Amino acid sequence: MDTEKVRILLVDDDEFFGFLIKKYLEEKDFLVDKASSAQEGYELFCKNNYSLCLLDVMMPVKDGFALAQEIKAKDRSMPIIFITGNKTPEQTLIGFDAGADDYIKKPFATEELLVRMKAILRRSLKHNGAEDFVKFNIGKYIFNYSMHTLAFDDKIYRLTTKETQLLHLLVVNENKLLNRSFALQTIWNETSYLNRRSMDVFVTKLRKYFVHDNEVKIVNVPKQGYMLFVKY
């Protein structure tokens, strides 16, 4: 991946840790803006164009979850990775509900962070070429896989990376069972309890987008998976 023009927002109140991550990413040819508080981070986000945000969860005054919600309100499709020292199932679900694309727990190897970042950036950065226009009709909706959007009339929903991946799997298996384990392995690379709960959160969010068309439903198949049911 060409990272020459990729700009990252890093928000962490730990100055030493933030300095090390910023220095490492800059050595990998990323442009990195570092903020020490959620307020400073949001101000930078409003001024500049970023391809990815790295947000610490535990910060004084305002935490990373609140900052993520502000960022998502301004740019629904902005990829976010949470950095946390206390990764519990409850906290992770809150994070995914706030719009997280991934989590990484302190302490971690910088190489692991880089791999996770590149995986998300490969899926989220816009590329020139025909793949930018991969579209699927879902009832009265139009799903643009490459652009991470779901459109209904003049309303456009900007999807997170995992929302896009999950909806894509549902679409290519339209009116067929999407096996739960297969989806977990494909998107999360493992089928742990935490990831199963996380997928449930994303399915719930996707269902809310389809409220405008009664002939489109995401159906739960107990103990097996999900089905995107489209009536023609």
β-bridge partners, 156: 151
List the domains of the chain with CATH numbers.
7-124 (3.40.50.2300), 132-230 (1.10.10.10)
Task: Name the DSSP class of 99.
Answer: T
- Token look-up 């399915």 returns 203
pLDDT of 128 > 50? The answer is no
pLDDT of residue 2: 45
- Per residue in 11-64, pLDDT (tens digit) is 999 999 999 999 999 998 899 999 999 999 999 999 999 999 999 999 988 999
Asked if residue 60 has a cis previous peptide bond (ω within 30° of 0), the answer is no
H-type alpha helices, the chain: 15-27, 38-47, 64-74, 89-97, 110-124, 161-172, 180-187, 193-209
Q: Calculate mean pLDDT across residues 72-94.
A: 80
- Per residue in 215-224, pLDDT (tens digit) is 999 999 998 9
pLDDT of residue 116: 83
